[in-house]
Chain A
Amino acid sequence: MTDWRFHLAQQRGTLTALGIFIAMFVFYVANHPAGFTANVVQTVANKGVLLALVAMAQTLVVLTSGIDLSVGMIFILCNCVASYVVSGSAVAATLGIAGVIALGALCGAINAMIVIFGRLQPIVTTIATGAVYFGIALWIRPFPGSSPEFNSDIADALTGKIFDVVPTSLVVLLGVVVLVWLPFQGSVIGRAVYAVGSSEQAAYMSGMPVRRAKFAAYVLGGMLAASGGLFLTFFTYSGEASLANGNTYTLYSIAAVVLGGVSLFGGRGSAIGAIFGALAFRAIGDLLFVFDVEPLWQPLFQGLVLLLAVSIGSARLFQVRNRLELFT
């Protein structure tokens, strides 16, 4: 019986995020003029999956008690590159997709090397590398555009619906969770990632592979951000080096991660929680649309909801009875 108690306690953050998301989604669908139709779900899913992938990328770095302010730029860079290479025959396009993911891995690897061997703090490292990645994106796509041979078949396939009901993007997301995240979490390296975020010194003295764990976290994060960029290309059929978009995704990914119950101090939380956090965050905008709130008020509401959510999260603190616990 006590086993369940421990499982529950560990997943508390993720379950809370799930709860929030379900509540918002039900609210949304109940009030949407079209109701719970496949199209409605698809639109929600497609927009949500983009942020969910970037949020997963951010989760991996945050788990090591770092922060990645370049995820949005890796996302944009891969979007631009994908608009060139996902073209031609199915084989060529698939190779292109693989190439984009490899690019994401490379960006993550660069971040990792500077943090691990350069011993710089992640926040400033990723500010700088983010600028570099954006510069490259701007270089290859000074204006929004697409390759003339862009393979829209693959794009449509991955953004459409399976059996006309289930959005493919959700299936892909599920696939990423099952085939990438869960095995990672249960692996030796995944365990080491949590350990490093919890206490790097203790992890080192316990003989865990600290450097490899950090490297894996950043590289995997880069690959997930690249997947997000790919999906953006699939939706828009083009690549655009938008600074505003990149910054937005970076900052929203942090919001999603926090809403998803991942601790910014590292060592606690799950990418699954971040996915729900991302979907919930996206849902705010959709909810406002459904309630006919003027789009002008949307940013304000998004900010207020975020503010409210993080404030409630710290209401626990009023129960703290030894004030020394307030200081990490």
Chain B
Amino acid sequence: MLEATTALNARRRDWRQRIDVPVATAFGCIVLLLVLGSFYSSNFLSPQYLLQQLKVGAFLGIIATGMMLVILLGQIDLSVPWTVTLGAMMASAAAAHGAVGEAMAIPVGIACGLLIGLVNGVGVAYLRIPSMIITLAVNAVAQGLMVAYTGGFAPGDSASAAMRYLAAGTILGVPNAAIMWLVTGVLAVFLLNRTTFGRAIYGIGNKETAAYLSGVPTQRVVMIAFALSGGLAAFGGVLLAGYAGKAAQSMGDAYLLPSIAAVVLGGTSILGGRGSYLGTIAGVILITLLQSILSVMQIAEFGRQIIYGVIIVAMLLLYGREKIVR
């Protein structure tokens, strides 16, 4: 009847509505950056360079995946820096414990991250502590543990062979790290779009009260999301240790703000409830490219910081603005 044709027309319109403005803008900026960079040097468009960027970006990409889950809930995870470091250090430490340790290195690292995330999750979901403050505190505790563990020195343990393979190796010319990111991404997309868990995340980010009254186990979902964020951050740390050969103090500090920026530049609302993983991918590539181009152009560190900040504001002004209430 009338309803049926309306529904059919609506489905046709859905397809066109699916073009996500922020994601398109982000990808557009990536292309723009590459074009501008190519004026400086044609190397910017070479496959080697692009693959290298994918590899470097993979670490940020994995960490940003976890951050995205938490931001979709309307929360934030400020414990990323030392979860990354802790994951890396614990994995390396395990690797130093003989054959069993070596085999268990990566799972141990990830498990540590899951545990940290679980603490965050319990605090946010059950104790209703604002995520900003509890993740901050947990970050400090993680730092304290690692500082005490290493005695303040650089950690002596090396990464396991598996870690090095996953992070630095290649399969048919494609960097393994990028493959790891791809796998993580596919799982993330599946989780968010095809599972009840993912639907619950969007619902909670939109209106936790309504989600709760609909009978969704909101506390469990929030707790698991934070656990996943911790696990992914730790996994990122494990891979970073594999890439560099060993863990380092403060290795995670450089990933906090970029991971938040990548998620937000990809169109995910910092208030939660809205965002697609494709956008996060775009955001990660964008930031990685930006940092790389600035460093290749040998722009001094201070210039890089300023440009970094200005570009984030400029891009958000394009599509991250809240609606006027008038």
Task: Please list the residues of chain A having a beta carbon within 8 angstroms of any beta carbon in chain B.
Answer: 67, 114, 118-121, 123-125, 127-132, 134-139, 142, 201, 204, 244, 247, 251, 254-255, 258, 264-265, 296-304, 306-307, 310-311, 313-314, 317, 323-324, 326-327
When chains A and B are docked, how far (Å) is the Cα of A129 from the Cα of B260? Answer: 14
When chains A and B are docked, how far (Å) is the Cα of A208 from the Cα of B257? Answer: 35
Segment at the A interface, from B91-99, B122-130, B190-198: B122-130
8 Å CB contact of B141 from A264, A265, A304, A323: A304
- A128 near B313 with CB under 8 A, answer yes
- A121 near B253 with CB under 8 A, answer no
When chains A and B are docked, how far (Å) is the Cα of A143 from the Cα of B129? Answer: 40
> Known contacts A123-B270, A314-B128, A327-B209; is A132 also within 8 Å of B310 by CB?
yes
User: Distance in Å from the Cβ of B129 to the closest Cβ of chain A?
Assistant: 5
User: Distance in Å from the Cβ of B224 to the closest Cβ of chain A?
Assistant: 18
By secondary structure, the B interface counts as helix
- In the complex, chain B residues whose CB is within 8 Å of the CB of A121: 270-271, 320, 322
> Known contacts A121-B322, A134-B305, A136-B306; is A128 also within 8 Å of B132 by CB?
no
Report if B137 contacts A (CB, 8 A): yes
Tell me the nearest residue of chain B to A297, going by C-beta.
Answer: B148
- In the complex, chain B residues whose CB is within 8 Å of the CB of A120: 313, 316-317, 320-322
8 Å CB contact of A119 from B129, B148, B302, B324: B324
User: Could you list 5 A-B pairs, sorted by A, with CB under 8 Å?
Assistant: A127-B309, A131-B305, A135-B301, A310-B123, A327-B208
- In the complex, chain A residues whose CB is within 8 Å of the CB of B325: 201, 204
For B196-233 the 0/1 string (1 means CB < 8 A from A) is 00000000000011001100000000000000000000
Report if B83 contacts A (CB, 8 A): no
> Known contacts A121-B270, A135-B304, A138-B301; is A307 also within 8 Å of B309 by CB?
no
- In the complex, chain A residues whose CB is within 8 Å of the CB of B322: 119-121
Report if B78 contacts A (CB, 8 A): yes
Tell me the nearest residue of chain A to B304, going by C-beta.
Answer: A135
For B227-253 the 0/1 string (1 means CB < 8 A from A) is 000000000000000000000001001
For B283-311 the 0/1 string (1 means CB < 8 A from A) is 00000000000000000111111111110
- In the complex, chain A residues whose CB is within 8 Å of the CB of B137: 255, 303, 306-307, 310
User: Distance in Å from the Cβ of A241 to the closest Cβ of chain B?
Assistant: 8
When chains A and B are docked, how far (Å) is the Cα of A307 from the Cα of B140? Answer: 9
When chains A and B are docked, how far (Å) is the Cα of A324 from the Cα of B151? Answer: 47
